């Protein structure tokens, strides 16, 4: 039960921390719009789901109930954001907003979460999970609002990211095994491909395709209980941290022969250092004085954008993104806020 409890705590924490998760590569335009999704806590303590276009905030919820935005994509002139909003009874409803108009994916009977969104032609795909009557989470995705279960609810499971390639649907996540450990995996058209053997806790948070190659990024704990950031290329693991300190990664981009991974690594003081790795070499975005995290990454021509947060002196998180290592703040720090996803148009 201890391992299962740790995983439940992780899942709850990721409600306000993640992102989601795969990130696009854009070749660059003469005009660049930066869209960032996230959440900001109001004076009542409720999260407001929102996105920022070129630094200007657009609220998706009014703050009556807790809400958060976890992924954003722009298709033509339409802005799609996936996230959650609580109902009066307390359960979170998985939903997405198209140009600010909410589309509910669940009815609030059970707790649910929407973690990623993909628009392919006229189809809208959303990855996430929903509890069943036994309170076990079922990994799933919704295509045009119709749920497709990836697990049967026997074990806890979560889906964090997805990519659609023609008729093929790839979803990354994890499922708890009988011993109470998470097994990192992805599903291709509903068929699971396991990435770890379940000896230690592991999870997969992002997935991208590069030609015939499948890249998945996530973490796996070592014998000392420290989380190691890694990615798998066609199932073969590449470690990005050595396990001295716990680390997490939530996004991956493949641009030509270059592999970019965004995340954070703890320092001896216990603060997260926001960073990304390019071909395994870390690039630090914060100095570790304050806690920070990075949750999504985009490569746009020669520019690298990373989104996340950094705490201020009073302990509130400031939503921000870094362009080529230079921070752009999105909130003033009066209330805690987090940036979770980015799209460059």
8 A C-beta contact, residue 259 and residue 278: yes
Given a cut of 60, is residue 114 above it in pLDDT? yes
Given a cut of 80, is residue 278 above it in pLDDT? yes
pLDDT at 24: 53
Please tell me which residue, 14 or 115, carries the higher pLDDT value: 115
pLDDT at 317: 98
Given a cut of 70, is residue 1 above it in pLDDT? no
Strands 227-233 vs 236-239: parallel, antiparallel or unpaired: antiparallel
pLDDT at 312: 98
pTM for the whole structure: 0.92
Q: pLDDT tens digit string along 172-212?
A: 999 999 999 999 999 999 999 999 999 999 999 999 999 99
pLDDT at 135: 85
Q: pLDDT tens digit string along 50-104?
A: 999 999 999 999 999 999 999 999 999 999 999 999 988 789 999 999 999 999 9
pLDDT band at 30 (very low <50, low <70, confident <90, very high): low
Average pLDDT of every residue of the chain: 92
pLDDT at 305: 98
Distances (CA, A) of 77 to 34, 70, 154: 14, 20, 41
Domains of the chain with CATH codes: 2-344 (2.120.10.30)
Q: pLDDT tens digit string along 297-324?
A: 999 999 999 999 999 999 999 999 999 9
Q: pLDDT tens digit string along 217-274?
A: 999 999 999 999 999 999 999 999 999 999 999 999 999 999 999 999 999 999 999 9
* Strands (E) located in 22-76: 25-26, 34-41, 47-53, 56-59, 67-75
Given a cut of 70, is residue 23 above it in pLDDT? no
> What are phi and psi for residue 198, nearest 5 degrees?
85, 5
* Gap between the terminal Cα atoms of the chain: 45
pLDDT at 4: 30
Which residues does 9 contact at the CB level (< 8 Å), separation at least 6? Answer: none
Please tell me which residue, 27 or 149, carries the higher pLDDT value: 149
pLDDT at 31: 79
Please tell me which residue, 10 or 333, carries the higher pLDDT value: 333
8 A C-beta contact, residue 141 and residue 162: yes
Find the radius of gyration of the CA atoms of the chain: 18
Which residues does 37 contact at the CB level (< 8 Å), separation at least 6? Answer: 49, 50, 51, 69, 70, 71, 72, 81, 83, 339, 340, 341, 342
Given a cut of 50, is residue 7 above it in pLDDT? no
Q: What mean pLDDT comes out for the span 320-336?
A: 98
């Amino acid at each position: 039960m201890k391992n299962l409890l740790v995983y439940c705590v992780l899942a709850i924490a990721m409600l306000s921390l993640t992102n989601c998760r795969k990130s696009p590569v854009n070749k660059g335009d003469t005009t660049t719009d930066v869209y960032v999704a996230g959440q900001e806590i109001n004076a009542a303590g409720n999260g407001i789901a929102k996105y920022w276009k070129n630094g200007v905030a657009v609220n998706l919820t009014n703050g009556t109930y807790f809400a958060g935005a976890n992924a954003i994509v722009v298709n033509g002139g339409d802005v799609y954001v996936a996230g959650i909003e609580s109902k009066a009874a307390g359960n979170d409803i998985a939903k997405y907003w198209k140009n600010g108009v909410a589309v509910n994916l669940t009815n609030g009977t059970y707790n649910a979460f929407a973690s990623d969104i993909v628009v392919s032609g006229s189809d809208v795909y959303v990855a996430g999970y929903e509890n069943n009557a036994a309170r076990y989470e079922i990994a799933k995705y919704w295509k045009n609002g119709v749920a497709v279960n990836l697990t049967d609810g026997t074990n806890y499971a979560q889906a964090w990211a997805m990519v659609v390639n023609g008729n093929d649907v790839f979803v990354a996540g994890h499922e708890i095994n009988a011993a109470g450990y998470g097994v990192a995996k992805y599903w291709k058209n509903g068929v699971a491909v396991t990435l770890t053997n379940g000896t230690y806790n592991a999870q997969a948070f992002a997935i991208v395709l590069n030609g015939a190659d499948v890249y998945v990024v996530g973490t796996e704990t070592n014998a000392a209980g420290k989380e190691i950031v890694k990615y798998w290329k066609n199932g073969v693991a590449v470690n990005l941290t050595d396990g001295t300190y716990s680390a997490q990664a939530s996004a991956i981009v493949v641009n030509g022969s270059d592999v970019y991974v965004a995340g954070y690594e703890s320092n001896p003081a216990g603060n997260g250092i926001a960073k990304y790795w390019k071909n395994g070499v870390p690039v630090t975005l914060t100095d570790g004085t304050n806690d920070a995290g990075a949750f999504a990454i985009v490569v746009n021509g020669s520019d690298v954008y990373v989104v996340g947060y950094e705490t201020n002196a009073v302990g509130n998180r400031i939503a921000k993104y870094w362009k080529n290592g230079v921070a752009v703040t999105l909130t003033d720090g009066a209330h805690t806020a987090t940036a979770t996803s980015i799209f460059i148009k």
